[in-house]
Amino acid sequence: MRLPLRCRLLGHRFRFTADGDVMSWSCERGCGAGGEKRYRTAADAERYAAAFDREDRDDLGRRAPLVAGLPLRIWRAARRRPRR
């Protein structure tokens, strides 16, 4: 099976869901990649699915990459620092 160009270049974009005690994931781009995992409780499956089903764009600026986001981190730290 040959992966679509978007998945080959950018990687998969997995979406996570929980159904009972089973967490499953599949590629949003429709390439067919995915899987599932069974947890002890439905609450565990739901918790992990919610934690994994986040977009990095939601936190842009707060979880910036260490080197590329260094100026942003310094600026945020300076803003939070109390003035004398």
**pLDDT (tens digit per residue) in 7-39:** 777 788 899 999 999 999 999 888 888 999 999
Same domain as 41, residue 17:
yes
Same domain as 2, residue 41:
yes
Please tell me the total count of domains within the chain.
2
pTM: 0.60
Give bridge partners of residue 35 from the DSSP assignment: 25
Identify whether the C-beta of residue 22 lies closer than 8 Å to the C-beta of residue 36: yes
Same domain as 2, residue 29:
yes
Same domain as 71, residue 38:
no
Gap between the terminal Cα atoms of the chain: 63
Same domain as 45, residue 5:
yes
What is the per-residue pLDDT across 44-58, written as a single tens digit (0 to 9) for each?
999 999 998 877 665
Length in residues, the chain = 84
Phi and psi dihedrals of 71, rounded to 5? -60, -40
Same domain as 43, residue 6:
yes
Domain span at residue 13 reads 1-53
